[in-house]
């Protein structure tokens, strides 16, 4: 039986099971002590009460226990043997692609902390092309690694070897053009070779923070330089829409960090972390709706629209599912804390976990 405790360090909910003395917060790593009445430990008064029982009663109990023990050995052995057989059958029937039971939401997991091919040093961004190739970018190494949809390592390339250039956002088009935000600029690379092909410009130059490629090939980006703008480029890299002060112009409060997601019909989703809200604009840049608050959205780190037009957000480890009107449909614990993620055309989510791995989840059941 599990109980919920509050982490005294970060305030997050921590699951603790009866019989254990402490639990670890999966968000900050702090060790949370479990109260004695939950851990199943005896208090001082309990111990005194036990010592105060009469020896006659204790002897009677010993006799009863001995009889029950002899009678129960056969039952116990029978139970263990049959349980083991059932477990073997269950595992044989339930092993998935990477050896995880089907009951777990994670279908596949690969990577881990390291610097060699197939391992990650502070992975920051993930993207996918039309062929299912996955691109994982690291925060400070300038390295992009390429994998197939099964998690097999293909190759890697570097967009920079300067440790002062940090990757902040990445998205990929169907035909394999990789859009990277670093140094406050938006660059276009060939996803296969890493060749720098172009850069996209805001009229006021540098200041990009996030990017997402829409299904029609247009490129959506957030930008900040004394105001919070959203800019859209067509598939030729030409700016065809600028929403000035996209968040602050609607809320009246300043916004310094905007995350964007492109909808399937040209709609624009923008999350303002300082305003703790998601704003929806139509394809012409007109404001349509607003939803969310500090209680619903704790610390979102990823956002994407799936092929069904639903909005997904990763928030402090959980996955949140909203319909197109901004109504919360599901809050899912994926079994790993996920931050950046992408969704394929066949409703497979690939996300970067806090364990420096990439995990795959099937969203078709939601």
| 13 and 111 both lie in a single domain | no
pLDDT at 74 over 90: no
Is the residue at 59 inside a domain? no
User: Which CATH number is 164's domain given?
Assistant: 2.120.10.30
Are 330 and 190 contained in the same domain?
A: yes
- Phi, psi angle pair for 76, to nearest 5°: -65, -45
**Overall average pLDDT of the 21-31 stretch:** 58
CA-to-CA distance for 157 and 82, rounded, in angstroms?
Answer: 53
Place of tokens 């994998």: 147
Query: Does position 94 have pLDDT exceeding 70, yes or no?
Result: no
What is the per-residue pLDDT for 165? Answer: 86
- Sheet of 328-332: strands edge to edge? 300-305, 311-315, 318-322, 328-332
Three-state secondary structure call for residue 156: strand
What's the structural domain count of the chain? 2
Residue 315 and residue 175 share a domain: yes
Q: Is residue 158 part of a domain?
A: yes
Answer whether 107's CB lies under 8 Å from 360's CB: yes
Collapsing DSSP to helix, strand or coil, 17 comes out as: strand
How sure is the predictor about 28, in pLDDT bands with cuts at 50, 70 and 90? low
The DSSP call for residue 201 is: -
Residue range 126-150: mean pLDDT, rounded: 97
Q: Which pLDDT does position 24 carry in this prediction?
A: 60
pLDDT value at 92 more than 50 = no
Report whether 27 contacts 7 (CB < 8 A). yes
Q: What is the mean pLDDT of the chain?
A: 81
Residue-wise DSSP of 239-303: EEEEETTTTHHHHSS--S-EEEEE-TTS-EEEEETTTTEEEEE-TTS-EEEEE--TTT-S-EEEE
- Give percent above pLDDT 90 in the chain: 65
Residue 163 banded pLDDT, cuts 50, 70, 90: confident
- The rounded distance, in Å, linking the Cα atoms of 130 and 76 is 56
Domain shared by 41 and 113, yes or no: no
Question: Residues 22, 133: one domain?
Answer: no
Q: What are phi and psi of 108, to 5 degrees?
A: -155, 150
Residue 142 shares a structural domain with residue 280: yes
* pLDDT exceeds cutoff 80 at 103: no
Whole domain around residue 34: which residue ranges? 2-46
Q: Are residues 33 and 174 in the same domain?
A: no
Q: How confident is the model at residue 211 (pLDDT cuts 50, 70, 90)?
A: very high
Asked if 31 and 139 sit in the same domain, the reply is no
**Is residue 177 situated within a structural domain?**
yes
8 Å CB contact between 211 and 220: yes
pLDDT tens-place string over residues 281-321:
999 999 999 999 988 998 999 999 999 999 999 998 899 99
| Residue 319 · residue 338 · CB < 8 Å | yes
Question: 116 CB contacts (<8 Å, ≥6 apart)?
Answer: none
Shared domain for 13 and 132, answered yes or no, is no
Pair 10, 113 in one domain: no
Tell me: do 306 and 164 sit in the same domain: yes
């Amino acid at each position: 039986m599990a109980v919920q405790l509050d982490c005294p360090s970060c305030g997050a909910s921590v699951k603790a099971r009866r019989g254990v003395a402490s639990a670890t917060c999966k968000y900050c790593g702090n060790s949370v002590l479990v109260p004695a009445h939950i851990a199943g430990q005896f208090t001082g008064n309990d111990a005194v009460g036990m010592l105060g029982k009469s020896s006659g009663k204790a002897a009677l109990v010993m006799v009863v226990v001995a009889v029950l023990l002899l009678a129960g050995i056969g039952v116990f052995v029978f139970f263990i043997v049959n349980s083991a057989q059932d477990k073997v059958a269950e595992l044989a029937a339930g092993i998935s692609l990477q050896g995880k039971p089907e009951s777990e939401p994670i279908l596949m997991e690969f990577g881990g902390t390291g610097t060699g091919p197939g391992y990650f040093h502070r992975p920051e961004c993930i993207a996918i092309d039309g062929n299912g190739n996955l691109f994982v970018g690291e925060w400070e190494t300038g390295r992009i690694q390429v994998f197939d949809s099964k998690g097999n390592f293909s190759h890697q390339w570097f967009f920079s070897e300067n440790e002062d250039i940090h990757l902040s956002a990445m998205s990929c088009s169907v035909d394999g053009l990789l859009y990277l935000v670093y140094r406050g600029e938006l660059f276009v690379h060939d996803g296969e070779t890493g060749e720098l092909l172009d850069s996209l410009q805001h009229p006021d130059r540098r200041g990009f923070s996030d990017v997402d490629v829409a299904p029609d090939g247009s490129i959506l980006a957030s930008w900040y330089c004394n105001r919070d703008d959203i800019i859209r480029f067509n598939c030729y890299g030409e700016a065809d829409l600028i929403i000035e002060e996209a968040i602050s112009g609607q809320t009246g409060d300043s916004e310094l960090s905007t995350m964007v997601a492109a909808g399937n019909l040209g709609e624009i989703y923008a999350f303002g972390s300082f305003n703790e809200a998601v704003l929806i604009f139509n394809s012409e840049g007109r404001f349509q709706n607003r939803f969310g608050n500090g209680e619903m959205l704790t610390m979102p780190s990823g956002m994407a629209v799936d092929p069904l037009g639903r909005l997904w957000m990763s928030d402090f480890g959980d996955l949140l599912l909203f319909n197109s009107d901004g109504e919360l449909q599901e809050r899912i614990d994926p079994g790993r804390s996920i931050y950046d993620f992408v969704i394929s055309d066949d409703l497979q989510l690939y996300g970067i976990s806090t364990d420096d791995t990439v995990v795959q989840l099937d969203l078709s059941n939601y």
